[in-house]
Structure 1
Amino acid sequence: MENETGRRRYTSLRRVAQAHQTRAEIADAARRLFVSKGWAATTIRDVAREAGVAVPTVYAAYQNKAGLVWALADAADLAADLPQAIEELESTADPRRHLAAMAAYDRRLFERAGDLITLLREAGRAEPDLADFYLTGRRQVGEHRVQVFSSWPDGTLRAGLDVPTAVDIYAALCNIDVYTTLHIERSWSPDRIERWWGEALARELLSRP
């Protein structure tokens, strides 16, 4: 009887693992198709065919295309290792190192999930909820930068620069479009982009870069 109970328990665990694997395979297939074909041209049937599953399986896992994009977007911060960025910010009081840590996080985000960010912007043109999701994410990023910049002592920012303007300058320098231009069009390595961002941010924002 005990062995039978154990077998049932492990059978249940295997089913859970298989369900997670199926969801991951569907998400991977969706990401490939969304990036290669575009959001509008990709159908749930396309995703199911690419993942090798039935159409109802995709609906059961993610409900619809918007649900797939939401799941992919949630994975973006995990890919960029947000906990590492927080640890780096908390380990020092040096504004220059804060900027370097923030630039490193942005580099990881755009390097590992830049296609998802571009996809989310595209999908937002057809799905108001996804457009709101994208804009909310951008606002949250701005709020995080406000928190960091506001923690610095008076006189840290360049003369005449307030925190909101500093956040605007950061957003103008460090974004997916700048990353794509430098990496794809100008053949800069991600390391070079990260270094340049850190130096440029210190030069533009700090009173003593």
Structure 2
Amino acid sequence: MDVGGTGKRRYDSLRRVAQAQETRAEIARAARRLFVAHGWAATTVRAVAEEAEVSVPTVYAAYGDKAGLVRAVADAADVTADVAAMLSALEDASAGPERQLAAMAGYDRRLFERSGDVIALVREAGRTEPELAAAYDEGRRRGDGTRVQVFSSWPDGVLRDGLDVPAAVDVYAALCNVDVYTTLTVERGWSPDRVETWWSGALARELLRPPSG
């Protein structure tokens, strides 16, 4: 019987896939360490290969080029921020506007806490790499798109007087961004919890119509 042999071949194939995935992950982790430590311009593909303890051709095979490495690191940022948790809160039928704003503020806090350095990296690299500038802009458009969807779902009269949905999205972006997060946590010594709490309250005050009376 060749069942055992077939099974072994199947497991060997899975093992190769797992090894390849781990190699890609280690390359991405090495790239992140070097990009954050030394910046986009000073980091080379060869340096990433040495940091990950793989060959230069392996890096190119995994990600194509240095821009591909940055894209891979940036794509991982949304995963670390747990977008599923935010979506679950947004889709909760019992969640009103204040809770939805708090859910979005929580997502931004997690994103900036865990990957703010990556966002700054992509923005820096985008000054010389049009493809990465486009990736940074696309990330901002996705965030704005989520806010448009949420704010547009609210009944008339929820937003403050004088605010329409585009203006509300602008106010949100002015409050909840990586530069504000960095200023408060690095320069002012705020904890991430404090930033999230302040954001939640400030968003409600700035965007929602006050209760009558």
Shorter chain as denominator, the TM-score bin is over 0.9
- Equivalences for residues 1-209 of structure 1 within 5 A: 1-91=2-92, 92-208=94-210
Aligned-pair Cα RMSD in Å: 1.0
CA distance in 2, matches of 1:23, 1:143: 30
SS in 2 for 1:111: helix
Is the 2:89–2:95 Cα contact (8 Å) retained in structure 1?
no
Deviations, residues 141-184 of structure 1 (Å, cap 9, x unaligned):
11211111111111111111111111111000000000000011
Deviations, residues 69-103 of structure 1 (Å, cap 9, x unaligned):
11111111111111110110111341111110110
Deviations, residues 106-132 of structure 1 (Å, cap 9, x unaligned):
001111111111111011112101101
SS in 1 for 2:5: helix
CA distance in 1, matches of 2:34, 2:166: 38
**Percent identical residues:** 69
Aligned residues: 209
SS in 1 for 2:62: helix
CA distance in 1, matches of 2:100, 2:131: 33
In the alignment, structure 1 segments of 5+ residues that lack a partner are none
Structure 1 ranges of 4+ moved more than 6 A:
none
Give the alignment's TM-score, normalised by structure 1: 0.97
Cα deviation for residue 12 of structure 1 reads 1.2
Give the alignment's TM-score, normalised by structure 2: 0.95
Is the 2:81–2:107 Cα contact (8 Å) retained in structure 1?
yes
